[in-house]
Amino acid sequence: MRWRIYFFLIGIFFSCSNDLEILNVQREGVLVASIEGEAITWRSREYRVSAGPSVIKNFNEPEEVSKKFRRYYFMFNGLASAERTFELTVALDMADVTDFRHNYTVQYDLLKGGLHEISLILKNPGTPTTYDTYELCAISNAEAFFEIKRQNQAERLITGSLKGRLCSSGSLSGLNITIAEFKDIAY
């Protein structure tokens, strides 16, 4: 009987500790895009960020200068409608691989980098499966951007937006991403 009381008291002693339980909020990255002419907002919770090769860009500043950048790929997979899926890829050339915050455009910044490409693959329903491919329009790309507004270096998360007109391969018809917002994307 004495042993039972002893074990009971030991159990109470160890269960009454001053340890605080720490809760970590798990953030889920998301992309939400408005496409001109589309009734449904495109959404993606599947994404991947990967570092690519180093690239050299030539500038004609007061004199010709070459600058080395690191290319990063931001890939988003999601639903364009109940039947269609999309894969959106953005390629950025970055000078500072620790501080991503910048408004990247096709007009490269010597100190920060620029927007290399935005491409899109749409998977259409049906048998056989068909795909439509789009990339940043060469003619109307001056308004295209990929902006990283906030960066949490401790949690390695970024938040921002993008915009761009994408042309179907070999034609001027395409899609206009009027605005897309991404939040809590891990890198």
How many residues are recorded in the chain? 187
Q: What is the tens place of the pLDDT at every residue in 85-131?
A: 999 999 999 999 999 999 999 999 999 999 999 999 999 988 899 99
- pLDDT at position 23 is 47
Q: For the chain, what are the domain ranges? A: 27-186
Closest by CA position to 46, among listed 20, 70, 28, 64: 28
Does the N-terminal peptide bond of residue 62 adopt cis geometry, omega within 30 degrees of 0? no
- Give the whole-angstrom CA distance, residue 105 versus residue 102: 9
Closest by CA position to 115, among listed 156, 57, 43, 173: 57
Q: What is the mean pLDDT of residues 128-149?
A: 92
- Position 134 pLDDT exceeds 80: yes
- Position 139 pLDDT exceeds 90: no
Q: What is the tens place of the pLDDT at every residue in 17-33?
A: 555 555 444 567 799 99
DSSP state at residue 167 = E
Across 28-32, 46-50, 76-80, 94-98, least confident range = 28-32
154 by DSSP, 3-state: which? coil
Mean pLDDT of the chain: 87
| Tokens describing residue 160 | 């921002």
Q: CB of 159 within 8 A of CB of 127?
A: no
What type of residue is 124? N
